[in-house]
Chains A and B, each alone.
Chain A
Amino acid sequence: MVKRYGFPLLMILLLTAGAPALAATPLPDIPKAIKGEQCVEDTGFMRRNHMTLLEHQRDDTVQRGIRSKKHSLKHCFTCHVVKDDDGQPVTAEDPRHFCRACHDYAAVQVDCWQCHVSTPEPSATSVKGVQP
């Protein structure tokens, strides 16, 4: 009897015991954008395709000089900012950072922050000097 039904029984036992654990798997706590209700594209689209958009924009900007704001990495941080207790935006070195929230959860490591700044620009750059 035990020999015959032991294994399925064990599986059922394990599954029922495991179900609550599965349901309780924590979802990433995604920080809310500081302004606006709508991202540059649908939220679902962004979740699936932000990397494609960023990669396109990256090549367009560096190689062809296209600097439209919409899909630029810099533009993400005008809204997606997480501030620390002192009201300062946290960098990607902080696990609370917008990108980190999901990327840590999904265990996907990105290579952006070796070179790029992960916080909004401190202020608008000077508009001194005009091309002849």
Chain B
Amino acid sequence: MELMPPDVAEGNFTPYGAQATGPGSAGQEASNGNVAASVGPFVRVDDTPKFELDSYIANYSGRTKFNRLFLIGTCSTHLSVEALKAAIAEAKSGKDVSRYERAVQALAENAPNEIEAVLDREWVERLQRVVRAETDRLEHELRGYKNNLIKESIRMGNEDLGQHYHRTGDLTAASKAYSRMRDFCTTPSHVASMLFKIISVAIERGEWLSVQSNVQRLRSLQTKQEEQSKNQPKISAALGLSQLHSGSYLDAANSFLATEPSLGDSYNDILSSNDVAVYGGLCALASMDRNELQRRVLDNNSFRNFLELEPHIRRAISFFCNSKFRPCLEILDAYRADYLLDIHLQRHVETLYTRIRTKSIQQYLVPFNRVSLESMSKIFVLGNRTDQPSPDSNSAFVQELIELIQNGTLDSRIDLEKHVIVSSQGDKRIEVQEAALESLENYIEEAHIRLLRTNIVRAGLEVRPLGDERRPRPEERVGGKRSTIGNIFSRATGTKH
């Protein structure tokens, strides 16, 4: 039986502070007494997303359902009312009072005239009573089991309590209760189930370090073959999720690519297979080159199953691989609203999209010596294709290129006379000569200074503190100590004896 050290990520430790206070992890704050309610939405999405809210949300189960609905409700202008109503319904079917209150408040702000926008006080009070009674009961039971010292009962008691806390939205308490199970697990599958529960709470709390460390524990667990193959997809997906959130997009892509298609809908309380396709596809697009994308994504038989669920991601990737950057970027742009309304992608959409775009521009320029800004903007300036005047030096696209050049991403220069971008083929010959000259000059300077230093010390002419009879003027110095003069002096003249 594995002995588990206390989890570093438990308690109040939130490694991704910025992410933890946004709606991406909205579930936690109310229960932790945080300021979630006062934090406005991370983005406002005015475009209509492509998905149908009903069928989208039907993919999920458990607490993520409410969290996703609430996020859509607070961020999207079009789906706001619909999503918040669904969120309220979802909350009312559960036992978490605080999320019901938050959903009602959000709806009241957006559509105060809706019937649901009025708080159902009676329900709230009744539920609070029920929850309190249930908490008391479970705690009492657990105390009983503890007195009897039956491991299995204590484990189950803690599990029940954890589940109860989780359902009622007290994530801190839930996490603690689940963690207390560890000493009473007797089989590897118990440990695995406990770890999954901890991971689930950690994901909701946005504690990605905790997710990662628990995933590692799950991986090193010796379980039966069939159980392992059942757990693998969930482990990979959870790991990928945590890597996505910590910004390691290549790692995240690798994790999602390694997720077995047997995941199916087994992890619906966290993410769906569609999500794996989208997250994995975008992370791969943002972090891999064309060869890798072809080999590891498009030609990947197991990941193909996921991609079939989201065919546009597959299309975007194959467009990219075939250097058809405009259709690729257009697809991504079309789905921008969808991804901005995704609980996990929201904060990463901009970064991922920028990286993909930058990579496209880089790839596009590879074969050319010079490209006209006009033909480039035909590809990279999305939007209305017809009324595009030839880009002037102040257009956003040219500005974007300038920034890419200045931060070293593009090794090119812009010619504002002929309106072309020229790949800078620095004259290697001159460069070598300049480098030689520079190192020669540096060498001479440094050698000279070192030589002087040696000879200064030899002649006993170092800068000295006060008190030396040879350099008596006090105003010439700034803070000196007397203590080591003798030592230094003997050192300086020492070689001549």
A and B are partners in one complex rather than unrelated chains? no
The interface of chain A, by Cβ under 8 A from chain B, is: none
